Amino acid sequence: MRARRVLVLGGLAVCGAVGIALAHDAWRGVSIRRALDEAEARLRAPLAEAPRIDRLRASSAADRLESLVSSGVGGRRARALWNEALAIEALQRGDLVHAGRRLEVARREAGGWTAPLRVLAAEIARRQTDLESALDHARAALRLDPDSPRALLLAADIALDLRRAPQALEWLERLARIEPSVAAVHNALGIAREGVGNVQGAIAAYERARELAPVDPVPLVNLGRLHRLANRHEQALRAFEAALALAPSRADAWLGRGLALAALDRSEAAVHALRRAAELAPGDAEPLLGLGDLYRDAGRIQEALAAYREALAREDADAASWLKLGHALLLDGQSVAAEAAYRQAIARAPALAAAHNGLGAALLALGAREEARRAFERARDLDPGDPAPRLNLARMDRAATSMGSRGGSPRRG
């Protein structure tokens, strides 16, 4: 009897141990799944929390996943998510090569493409300036998940990069129905509406973005830019100053403020604002071009020439910079240098009608009448709506019929 009791008690002890072990395994499995779910949630954060991939908390997700992978738990899901997190980390620090390698490992571990991996591939290709491949990946993501907010936003951003505003607008209108309370969506929607000429719709989108994110300066900068283009310079100035109150170091807000002040004939304040924009964006020629325009319109030609040359030192591939320099040189009577500047502009943008018209003016000043005529004709053909080449050709014709007449000075446009 006693032996039987011992056996029974021993059997109960074994059963108890097995039960505890099974419970522990079940608890451990739940913990692993919870850890995987939490890490994945960081990589799938909603747009309201992380509108761009740069805002995803990839590092914390990678740390959590690394501990699982190094312990040999979580299987392929853990390895796929870990490599995806590492790819996003690499993207965020600008290491596109490493990002691409980690993405490929993540794809293999996941057993193929997923919508989030396609989005990541699109962002990598976009930063490599391979925009067509980027758009292909974004479209593939939408085929896998047609209502993916991140895929819709990125596809629209790439379409805008490619100047395909109608396609971007289609995606963004759909996204705005899915995510009506995300400021970044409405800001992008405003840009797309601008691209199709819907200015009032763009203003409404920017205003909505500002309501949703009152501490974000970007919608204010966009509003200011639209008001300035519509010659509502006081409204533009208020928008740019509101943006600067939120972000005092935004170069684009200082640029807009400077251009609005210049349009309001507040030249001294405009010079200060444009100089500040140039300091904050040392690789951008636009603030210096605005400064050059301000000086040129004030008749301060030498200062205009200095500003344009400074702009060219930053960005000599820009045809507009060479065009503006040519105009200022012609005003200064430097026809030979003006001709060279216009030819530089044409080399960079052969279809830039204003550069051909300016070249004609410089050649005419140098006495090269036939070459000047050909340049004016080319400008007229490139932009039939611009009256300047036609006026210059008409002046040349009048001069040809008037013995000894010089026909007046040519118009640069």
| Cα–Cα distance measured from residue 294 to residue 277, given in angstroms and rounded to the nearest whole number | 14
> According to the model, what pLDDT value does residue 8 have?
46
In a domain, 129, yes or no: no
pLDDT tens column, 73-113: 889 999 999 999 999 999 999 999 999 999 999 999 999 99
> According to the model, what pLDDT value does residue 15 have?
47
- To the nearest whole percent, how much of the chain has pLDDT over 90? 82
For residue 112, the SS3 value is coil
In a domain, 194, yes or no: no
| Among candidate residues 97, 112, 127, the one where a domain is terminated | 112
pLDDT tens column, 157-188: 999 999 999 999 999 999 999 999 999 999 99
In a domain, 396, yes or no: yes
Q: Please check whether residue 116 is in contact with residue 88, taking contact to mean a CB–CB distance below 8 angstroms.
A: no
- To the nearest whole percent, how much of the chain has pLDDT over 70? 90
> According to the model, what pLDDT value does residue 11 have?
52
The number of domains in the chain is 2
| Among candidate residues 63, 83, 112, the one where a domain is terminated | 112
- Mean pLDDT over 202-206 rounds to 96
In a domain, 231, yes or no: no
- The tokens for 349 are 């943008």
Spatial CA neighbour of 319 closest among 284, 287, 278, 350: 350
- Mean pLDDT over 253-257 rounds to 97
pLDDT tens column, 333-376: 999 999 999 999 999 999 999 999 999 999 999 999 999 999 99
Task: Evaluate if pTM is beyond 0.95.
Answer: no
- Mean pLDDT over 25-41 rounds to 76
- Mean pLDDT over 17-29 rounds to 45
pLDDT at 14 over 80: no
Length of the chain: 413
In a domain, 57, yes or no: yes
> According to the model, what pLDDT value does residue 18 have?
44
| Among candidate residues 112, 136, 152, the one where a domain is terminated | 112
Give the CATH number, domain containing residue 385. 1.25.40.10
How many degrees, rounded to 5, is the angle at CA 308 between CA 342 and CA 377? 20
| Cα–Cα distance measured from residue 260 to residue 247, given in angstroms and rounded to the nearest whole number | 18
Range of the domain at 90: 34-39+52-112
In a domain, 305, yes or no: no
| Cα–Cα distance measured from residue 31 to residue 29, given in angstroms and rounded to the nearest whole number | 5
Q: Please check whether residue 191 is in contact with residue 157, taking contact to mean a CB–CB distance below 8 angstroms.
A: no
Contacts 24+ apart (CB under 8 A), 394-403: 396/364, 396/369, 396/372
- The tokens for 398 are 């009048």
| Cα–Cα distance measured from residue 102 to residue 87, given in angstroms and rounded to the nearest whole number | 5
